[in-house]
Amino acid sequence: MGTKTCLIAIAILACACSSNPGNKPKAGSENNKETVTAETPQPVVQSEMVYFKGGKFQMGSAVGTPQEQPVHEVAVHAFKLDKHPVTVGDFRRFIEATRHKTDAEKFGDSGVFDFKTNSWALVPGANWQYPMGKTAPPAGINDPVTQVSWSDAEAFATWAGKRLPTEAEWEYAARCGGNSNTKFSWGNTLVVNGKYMANVWQGSDLTAQQGADGFNFVSPVGAFGETACGLTDMGGNVWNWCADVYQPYPGSTMPFQYNPDARSIRGGSFFFDQNGENSFSVTGRASNTKETSLFNTGFRCAANAD
Tell me how crowded residue 155 is: count the other CB atoms within 10 A of its CB. Answer: 18
Decide which of 82 and 207 is more confident.
82
The residues with which 264 forms a beta bridge, in sequence order, are 287
Any idea of the CA torsion for 118, 121, 123, 128, to the nearest 10 degrees? 90
Q: Average pLDDT, stretch 52-79?
A: 97
Cβ atoms of residues 298 and 75 within 8 Å: no
Tell me the angle at which helices 88-98 and 150-159 cross, rounded to the nearest 10 degrees: 70
Reply yes or no on whether the pLDDT at 301 is more than 70.
yes
Task: Report the share of the chain in percent with pLDDT over 90.
Answer: 80
Mean pLDDT, residues 115-127 taken together = 92
Distance, first Cα to last Cα, the chain: 37
Domains delineated in the chain:
3-18+43-304 (3.90.1580.10)
Q: What is the pTM (predicted TM-score) of this model?
A: 0.86
Burial of 37 (0-12, 13-18, 19+ CB in 10 A): exposed
Q: CA-CA distances (angstroms) from residue 78 to 104, 168, 173, 234?
A: 34, 12, 11, 19
Q: Is residue 297 within 8 Å of residue 269, measured between CB atoms?
A: yes
Neighbours of 249 (CB within 10 A): 18
Mean pLDDT, range 26-55, rounded to an integer: 53
Rounded average pLDDT over 265-276: 96
